Amino acid sequence: MPKNMLKDTHSPYDPDNIFAKILREEIPCRKIYEDDYALCFHDVTPQAPVHALVIPKGAYRSFSDFTANASDEKICGFFRAVKQSVLLLNLEKEGYRLLANHGEHAGQEVPHFHVHICGGGSLGRLISENKTHK
Ligand code: DGP
């Protein structure tokens, strides 16, 4: 971890979160891609024509936790897996959006770091009109 990076001081990782159970194959998922670093599967409540999630194979609560505490190899491997998933989903040409929620204000529901991949049609603005802050 770089010396000047702030430490993430949130609560400990919950090994019983739903994505940990998916990683342990205790509950099923519709798998798209898997390698040593990550697993990609379809979101159970899609909010776009194509909506997938990529999760790292490790106990990380959020983007902040992952980037502070995972090795460079694991971070690099994870983001390469995101790219591989984009290719498998055929989203490279027409475009896609990556999104990661961290914490309460972002509405993070599942406390295991995940990147949403959305695409398959026009996605509109990132934040709805009535929520913009000037
Ligand atoms: P977030 O709000 O960023 O924590 O998004 C969590 C996403 O996880 C949300 O879009 C719904 C999805 N999700 C929740 N439970 C399950 C599940 O059991 N299986 C799958 N495939 N997706 C889930």
Q: 10-22: string of b/e by CB count within 10 Å (b at 16+)?
A: eeebeeebbbbeb
CB 37 within 8 A of CB 74: yes
Token pair, residue 125, equals 């603005």
Band (pLDDT 50/70/90 cuts) for residue 10 is: low
Q: Is 45 in the pocket of ligand 1 (CB under 6 A)?
A: yes
Per the structure, how many domains does the chain have? 1
Task: Give tens-digit pLDDT for 22-33.
Answer: 999 999 999 999
**Single-letter residue type at 21:** K
Question: Structure pTM?
Answer: 0.92
Active site residue ranges: 114
Q: What is the mean pLDDT of residues 5-21?
A: 80
CATH number of domain containing 72: 3.30.428.10
In this structure, is residue 23 part of a structural domain?
Answer: yes
In this structure, is residue 5 part of a structural domain?
Answer: no
In this structure, is residue 66 part of a structural domain?
Answer: yes
Distance 19 CA to ligand 1 centre (A): 8
To the nearest whole percent, how much of the chain has pLDDT over 90?
Answer: 81
In this structure, is residue 128 part of a structural domain?
Answer: no
Q: Coil, strand, or helix at residue 18?
A: helix
In this structure, is residue 2 part of a structural domain?
Answer: no
Q: Is 17 in the pocket of ligand 1 (CB under 6 A)?
A: no
In this structure, is residue 129 part of a structural domain?
Answer: no
With 70 as the cut, is the pLDDT of residue 133 above it? no
Q: Is 28 in the pocket of ligand 1 (CB under 6 A)?
A: no
Domain with 107, as residue range(s), is 18-119
Mutating to test ligand 1, I would choose from 43, 64, 105 the residue with most ligand atoms within 8 A of its C-beta, which is 43
In this structure, is residue 9 part of a structural domain?
Answer: no
Token pair, residue 73, equals 């190899």
* Beta-bridge partner residues of 99: 116
**pLDDT score of 9:** 54
Task: Give tens-digit pLDDT for 57-94.
Answer: 999 999 999 999 999 999 999 999 999 999 999 999 99
In this structure, is residue 130 part of a structural domain?
Answer: no
